[in-house]
Amino acid sequence: MISNLKNTLTSQPPVALALSFIGLLTPAVGLYASKGIIILFGLAVLVCLFVFITKKDTRQSPPNALSLSVLALTIWGVASLIWTVSFDLSWTVARSLPFSMLGGLLIATSLKSLNSESRAIICRSMVVGFFLGVSLALIDVTTGFSISQVLHIAKFGGTWGNYMPGFVINNGITLLAMLLWPILIFLWHQKRHKLAFSGIIVTTYIAVQSSNFAAPVAIGIGSISFMMAFFMPRLIYKIAAFGLTLLILGAPFAMKALPDARTIGKDLPELSYSVYPRLVIWQYASNLVMEKPLLGHGIRTSRALSKADIQIPFLYRDKGEVKEGNTKDIPLHPHNGLIQMWLELGASGAVLGLVLVLCILWGINKSLAPPIPKALAFAALISSLCLISVSYGLWQSWWMASWWLQGTLIMLCLGSQKDAEPL
């Protein structure tokens, strides 16, 4: 497979070459230097922009619904500079948001000019890169995160074991959980079912063995979503549209309706420890949403709303015993993208975010791809929304670049593979 990939790369257009290169590197870069994904994403945007400007004969128009929803959300995020409670914090995202959103849209538009061979080359590169990343992550989780420790000592010094095991590769494991779905779509097209099955098993094992709580949950929910979309294709998209509308528009109200998150731990079954402080943070942030429900406090202002001297006590269960812990009210961000959208961009931002999600859902539903690839694409969407809902700041550059990378691969893999050569 690698030799075939090397021989055909030289005949590919610049966009295909750039995306193939990025596909090879992204999983490994995501594991050990997640911010490096921003550089790779930027490279892809620059290549696509160069081709878009210089080759008018291959210039394509962007997908209408997707482009309008992306543009509307971008404009609203930048416009929040007018009423933000912290201009300095908002400006750090507002100045880069157009590049991230419109750059991703440019990449998506550039894909329309690629033929089936170029599409397959990019997907093969990502398959190679994905399994390279999986191999590195597997070594880490089965040997006490040895690679992470070597890199940590080389960068910061110290002694063996003197760092947080597994924390270094958490972002990369999240990325692997996101890329799993488009990889499965391509492997299904290529009839590489054994390789696809091994990818599922090993990625799930890595996620479970790591200290990343969100990744195994997202893989599990994505798997359930796949089965529902495969067995109920006519019904599931209507259910999803209704459910996602309730979820996105009702997130802060649902959190406020829960019992006091500071004491709810005494009545809950034993959960992962990270769940309990998240409930406290989400409920605290939801209360702040109600102070400016229409416009929000301004993009990326969550950390400005945090009070440095506040530690909120809460109850949690550990081995059947009720214990007491504490958490900051909002540690940098709410660790829930839906609530963060409400908190920073208000109801208007939440509606625009919902429109974007529904456009993606509509695109998957209207795809002419076979049932299994469509169901896998649906699983990717639901899995990503799960990750957005439990972890990471919504506007982190590497995180946004990862969404576009996943979306790019899904668009490629859902296309026809009839003319593509086998791996």
The single-letter code of the amino acid at 237 is Y
Asked if 280 and 314 count as a contact pair (C-beta separation under 8 A), the reply is yes
**Residue 144 confidence class, pLDDT cut points 50, 70, 90:** confident
Q: What average pLDDT does the chain have?
A: 87
Please indicate, yes or no, if residue 264 is contained in any of the structural domains. no
66-75, 79-88, 219-228, 407-416: least confidently modelled range: 407-416
Report the C-alpha gap between 9 and 122 in whole angstroms: 9
Please indicate, yes or no, if residue 270 is contained in any of the structural domains. no
Compute φ and ψ for 83, nearest 5 degrees: -115, 10
- Whole-model pTM: value is 0.91
Please indicate, yes or no, if residue 184 is contained in any of the structural domains. yes
**pLDDT of amino acid 159:** 64
Domain count, the chain: 1
pLDDT, greater one: 317 or 56: 317
Above 50 in pLDDT, residue 117? yes
Place of tokens 């969404």: 403
Nearest to 305 by CA among 317, 291, 293, 316: 291
Please indicate, yes or no, if residue 159 is contained in any of the structural domains. yes
**pLDDT of amino acid 421:** 38
The torsion of the CA quartet 51, 52, 54, 59, rounded to 10 degrees, works out to 110
Please indicate, yes or no, if residue 268 is contained in any of the structural domains. no
Please indicate, yes or no, if residue 420 is contained in any of the structural domains. no
Above 70 in pLDDT, residue 234? yes
**pLDDT of amino acid 224:** 97
The torsion of the CA quartet 238, 242, 244, 250, rounded to 10 degrees, works out to 180
3-state secondary structure of 311: strand
Give pLDDT tens digits for 373-417.
999 999 999 999 999 998 888 999 999 999 999 999 998 888 644
Above 60 in pLDDT, residue 10? no
Report the C-alpha gap between 351 and 343 in whole angstroms: 13
Please indicate, yes or no, if residue 204 is contained in any of the structural domains. yes
Please indicate, yes or no, if residue 209 is contained in any of the structural domains. yes
Report the C-alpha gap between 358 and 348 in whole angstroms: 15
3-state secondary structure of 250: helix
**pLDDT of amino acid 276:** 87
Give pLDDT tens digits for 250-293.
999 999 998 888 888 888 888 778 888 899 999 999 999 999 99
**Residue 365 confidence class, pLDDT cut points 50, 70, 90:** very high
Give pLDDT tens digits for 332-350.
889 899 999 999 999 999 9
- 139 lies in which domain range? 2-248+335-414
